[in-house]
A and B are shown apart, each in its own frame.
Chain A
Amino acid sequence: QVQLVESGGGVVQPGRSLRLSCAASGFTFRRHAMHWVRQAPGKGLLWVSVISSNGNIKYSEDSVKGRFTISRDNSQNTLFLQMDSLRPEDTATYYCAREAEGALDVWGQGTLVIVSS
């Protein structure tokens, strides 16, 4: 079945780095743009970053620009989010999601990132 599975979350100190992964299965990964969306505890959804189907085009939300880098490996059906210079306000559950004509039609279960000393 169509599935996205995130991994890589955990507890990290401010200023350190973390790399999230999102393994895709059940669909042709290379045909879809992919997104990262995060949700701070008790808060709403916040879009983080997007990458085009071939990986050539990337955009990120202003608060993470220069710190977070989205990438993908279409040969391994995997999406990544490299998070550097982490801040306490980056604490959130991070979801990867598949885009279909502008809508996010498939979501992973999420991975929790806690930035704390």
Chain B
Amino acid sequence: DIQMTQSPSSLSASIGDRVTISCRSGQSISNYLNWYRQKPGKAPELLIYSASSLQSGVPSRFSGSGSGTDFTLTISSLQPEDFATYYCQQSFSTPAPTFGGGTKVEIK
């Protein structure tokens, strides 16, 4: 199994802040990396696929970058609805995807 490691596990930020979340894979996964946001009590929702492609309907303040083993999710200006937990997921090792441990974004 490909291990996915996210950092930090949690962070505190304010409305309007620029936030970056990191995800590292245990082996090279090219650009087979997806990002999800999970609001409290809700199902996850896809934000970014193939490392840097914005899912339809997702605000442009979200962006993704990276390839190989190191990836980053950036929120350019944090909004109230962005206080949530974020997960990366590799889709290189199909058919069994693996998720990172999550990064909880909290209000400062």
Query: A and B from one assembly?
Result: yes
| Residues of A in contact with B (beta carbons under 8 Å apart) | 33, 35, 37, 44-47, 50, 52, 57, 59, 61, 95, 100-105, 107-110
Instruction: Tell me the smallest distance from the CB of A57 to a CB of chain B, in Å.
Output: 7
Are B45 and A47 in touch, CB under 8 angstroms?
no
Q: 24 A-B Cβ contacts within 8 A?
A: A33-B95, A37-B44, A44-B100, A45-B44, A45-B99, A45-B102, A47-B97, A47-B99, A50-B96, A52-B95, A57-B95, A59-B95, A95-B43, A102-B32, A102-B50, A102-B97, A103-B46, A104-B34, A104-B44, A104-B46, A104-B97, A105-B46, A107-B43, A108-B43
| Residues of B in contact with A (beta carbons under 8 Å apart) | 32, 34, 36, 38, 42-46, 49-50, 55, 87, 89, 91, 94-102
- Which residue among B32, B95, B100 has the maximum number of chain A CB atoms within 10 Å of its CB? B95
- Which residue among B34, B43, B101 has the maximum number of chain A CB atoms within 10 Å of its CB? B43
B interface, over-half SS: loop
Are A44 and B99 in touch, CB under 8 angstroms?
yes
Instruction: Tell me the smallest distance from the CB of B99 to a CB of chain A, in Å.
Output: 4
Residues of A within 8 A of B45 (CB): 107
Are A101 and B87 in touch, CB under 8 angstroms?
no
A interface, over-half SS: strand
With contacts A45-B102, A103-B34 known, is A109 near B43, CB below 8 A?
yes
- Across the A-B interface, give the 5 residue pairs with the lowest CB-CB distance, nearest first: A102-B91, A103-B49, A107-B43, A103-B34, A45-B99
CA distance A57 to B96 in the complex (A): 12
Are A104 and B95 in touch, CB under 8 angstroms?
no
Instruction: Tell me the smallest distance from the CB of B91 to a CB of chain A, in Å.
Output: 3
Residues of B within 8 A of A103 (CB): 34, 46, 49-50, 55, 89, 91
